[in-house]
Amino acid sequence: MKNKAQILVKRPVGFPTKETWSLEESLIPELNSGEILIENHYISLDPAMRGWINNTRSYIPPVELNSVMRSGSVGKVIKVNGTTKFKIGDYVSGWGGVQLYSISDGEGYFKVDPNKAPIPKYLGILGMPGMTAYFGILEVGKLKKDDVVLVSGAAGAVGSIVGQIAKLKGASVIGIAGGKEKCNYLTDELGFDGAIDYKNESIQKGIKKNCPKGIDIYFDNVGGEILDDALIFLRRNARVVICGAISQYNSMEVQGPKNYLSLLVNRASMKGMVVFDYADRYQEAFENMTKWIKERKLKSNEDIYDGIDNFHQTFSRLFSGKKLGKLVLKVIDDK
Amino acid sequence: MKNKAQILVKRPVGFPTKETWSLEESLIPELNSGEILIENHYISLDPAMRGWINNTRSYIPPVELNSVMRSGSVGKVIKVNGTTKFKIGDYVSGWGGVQLYSISDGEGYFKVDPNKAPIPKYLGILGMPGMTAYFGILEVGKLKKDDVVLVSGAAGAVGSIVGQIAKLKGASVIGIAGGKEKCNYLTDELGFDGAIDYKNESIQKGIKKNCPKGIDIYFDNVGGEILDDALIFLRRNARVVICGAISQYNSMEVQGPKNYLSLLVNRASMKGMVVFDYADRYQEAFENMTKWIKERKLKSNEDIYDGIDNFHQTFSRLFSGKKLGKLVLKVIDDK
């Protein structure tokens, strides 16, 4: 039994290329006492991964060169040594990295129940993106009933949940997404009040039409021009949640929001978030989210691609937008 | 007795020129019942005035073309008609505009006491800039003891008060100002812990040296490069108060803060403010500020220039930085 892992071998300048990572085989070492061996079934692909491979100070240390690419994962414990946190056959999610097998002392892993939800969902709506959406819109955005909420990256793993949570709390929700298919998904499947197709229409006109009174919360996953367009339409005391900036992650220089003085005129705020800060409340979010899923108030889509060899190509879909909902790489079949 | 007023005759593109305003004489009309005639002694010159002459949506309507230039003022009631809010001889402050005499029904004016403070101070530390500083640092900035506070425009009307209030509340305060004289004023006269001379040193190096642990509050009066430099050094949960952006007011296109993703990494917020929102609490601020002035914990400087003819030239000092503290134009001698 051999491991295969995507190793970070080169820090990219701009868009990551095939040369950024190298797929390497290795023998799986013996487990030390207290360790478990996890067979990774699904790997989480997230925009944040682009930031982790820059050699800059951020909210977590960069992935080191010549080490396994960091990622969330979900899989099954297939071997244990001594007294361990999990037992053989347990399904667990954690930071397994982009590889077939991970060895861990269990730290940072949590048990997931494949009977409650298909396990890829633990990387999406019931994982980091779901937690990000929940705390981002409710805590950072301080959502109030009757708010007008605009979400960018609205068909993505975080944005799609943000919009649905805002809806079920009584807000009016407009999503920005790329392409007709995604926009239809937002309004027809997820119950958004409106959608703006940034690939085919003017965002400013779209906001004006869909949010005639302006915006109370702008939940930003993309940065760049769309952030600037949204800032124009802030209402008094609006909140801008800075969750991500996918349009900027591969840029040499970030485009600053030139309309930031709208914050002054409208007494608005712009606040950044990192989901890890809410770790001690994940359980609360998890319980609410599973309840809403059961009540069919919350839907999610996982877009699953196959094969650890296809990591780079699949990862690129995050930036081309060629995916719907949560992007996941399946690396081992659950037998 | 004739009035002289600076009339807005042309909306400037970029820096206002002499052609932006026209000094015009007019007869003073008879007072209607309930009206007062105010002899304006001092006119307030503020960076915000640059914004008021743009024809754009903002927190107050633009000054209309061919009307008296809007400004704060302080002066004396010299004539009344019927039952009025004030009596002859009262000193009052309000929105008199850039003119020698103003007629008002008293709305928006408040009485000031020349025995408590020289009346130009009612345009500075005891007026809008003082209120802005007080609510900006305490309410918007949510100042806490032991915070590290960085202030730009630190030798200005607002910045100098922000820094002193932060100091007397137990924070450590670093100011950014232009030139050695201003920097010495901050540290030697106002008790700042450090000063960075943006005209003669690297701001990033200056922040690194003076704030080795980073910044908890950045109070921004200037925008542009300095805002970007400050963002780099935010600490976890830092607050950026957007009070103004004097470096950008004459630009065709505002420079957006390209380091805004520091808000995300550091879970920081950036919040805009307009002092008018705190009008129902001015009295509280006024009482605290006068107490602190009496206790010699709070100092202020008014930089007073002479003559309504010199309005444009004096106004330009706001942007060239050739002034210290609160810029005031004296237009009539108090006899």
Q: Are the CB atoms for A66 and A9 separated by under 8 Å?
A: yes
Q: How far apart are CA B87 and CA B81, in angstroms?
A: 10
User: By the 8 A CB rule, do A160 and A301 touch?
Assistant: yes
Return the CATH superfamily for domain B2-124+300-330. Answer: Medium-chain alcohol dehydrogenases, catalytic domain (3.90.180.10)
Q: Do B261 and A59 touch (CB under 8 A)?
A: no
Rounded mean pLDDT of B273-297? 96
Which residues of chain B does A271 touch, with a Cβ-Cβ cutoff of 8 Å?
263, 267-270
Residue A156 three-state SS: strand
CB B80 within 8 A of CB B68: no
Q: What is the pLDDT of residue B1?
A: 84
Percent residues over pLDDT 90 in chain B: 98
Contact criterion met (CB < 8 Å) for B265 and A253 = no
Note the pLDDT tens digit of each residue in B83-120.
999 999 999 999 999 999 999 999 999 999 999 999 99
Nearest C-alpha of chain B: how many angstroms from A132?
Answer: 13
Partner A contacted by B253 (CB < 8 A): yes
For residues A91 and A113, the answer to whether their CB atoms sit within 8 Å is yes
pTM for the predicted model, two decimal places: 0.95
Architecture field, domain A128-276: 3-Layer(aba) Sandwich (3.40)
Q: Which of B58, B228, B267 sits opposite A272 (nearest CB)?
A: B267
Distance (Å) from the C-alpha of residue B224 to the closest C-alpha of chain A?
10
Nearest CA in chain A to B236: A59
Alpha-carbon distances of B143 from A18, B150, B203, rounded to whole Å: 48, 12, 23
- Average predicted confidence (pLDDT) for chain B: 97
Distance from CA of A240 to the nearest CA of B (A): 9
Local confidence pLDDT in tens for the 335 residues of chain A: 899 999 999 999 999 999 999 999 999 999 999 999 999 999 999 999 999 999 988 899 999 999 999 999 999 999 999 999 999 999 999 999 999 999 999 999 999 999 999 999 999 999 999 999 999 999 999 999 999 999 999 999 999 999 999 999 999 999 999 999 999 999 999 999 999 999 999 999 999 999 999 999 999 999 999 999 999 999 999 999 999 999 999 998 999 999 999 999 999 999 999 999 999 999 999 999 999 999 999 999 999 999 999 999 999 999 999 999 999 999 999 98
Tallying the residues shown for chain B, one arrives at 335
Cα distance between residue A131 and residue A284, in whole Å = 10
**Which residues of chain B have a CB within 8 Å of the CB of A253?**
258
ipTM of the complex: 0.94
Interface of A with B in 26-85 (CB under 8 A): 57-59
Lowest mean pLDDT among A50-59, A91-100, B166-175, B201-210: A50-59
Distance CA B275, CA A267 (A): 10
Domain layout of chain A by residue ranges: 2-124+301-330, 128-276
**In Å, how far are A12, B2, B99 from B81, measured between CA atoms?**
76, 19, 21
pLDDT for residue A33: 97
CA distance A237 to B76: 37
Instruction: Pick the closest to residue A299 from A145, A133, A181, A54 (CA basis).
Output: A133
Average pLDDT over residues B255-262: 97
Residue B252 has pLDDT above 90, yes or no: no
Cβ atoms of residues B223 and A263 within 8 Å: no
* Contact at CB, B58 and A265, closer than 8 angstroms: yes
Averaged over B236-247, what is the pLDDT? 97
Q: What is the pLDDT of residue A106?
A: 95
3-state secondary structure B287-319: HHHHHHHHCCCCCCCEEEEECHHHHHHHHHHHH
Cβ contact, residue pair B258, A255, below 8 Å: yes
Which chain B residue lies closest to A272 (C-alpha atoms)? B264
pLDDT of residue A57: 84
Mutation for testing the A interface, residue in B246, B249, B263, B270 having most A CBs under 10 Å: B270
For A242, the closest chain B residue by CA position comes to B264
Query: What would the mean pLDDT of B172-186 be, rounded to a whole number?
Result: 98
Those residues whose C-beta lies under 8 Å from the C-beta of residue B284, and which sit 6 or more positions away, are none
- pLDDT over 90 at B12, yes or no: yes
Structure tokens at B242: 């957007």
Residue type at B91 in one-letter notation: Y
What confidence score (pLDDT) does residue A133 get? Answer: 98
B231-236: long-range pairs with CB below 8 Å, 24+:
B231/B257, B231/B259, B231/B260, B231/B262, B231/B263, B232/B204, B232/B207, B232/B259, B232/B262, B233/B150, B233/B204, B233/B207, B233/B208, B234/B262, B234/B263, B234/B266, B234/B268, B235/B148, B235/B266, B235/B268, B236/B266, B236/B267, B236/B268
CA distance B174 to B187: 9
CATH number attached to the domain at A2-124+301-330? 3.90.180.10
| Residue A232: both structure tokens together | 């124009």
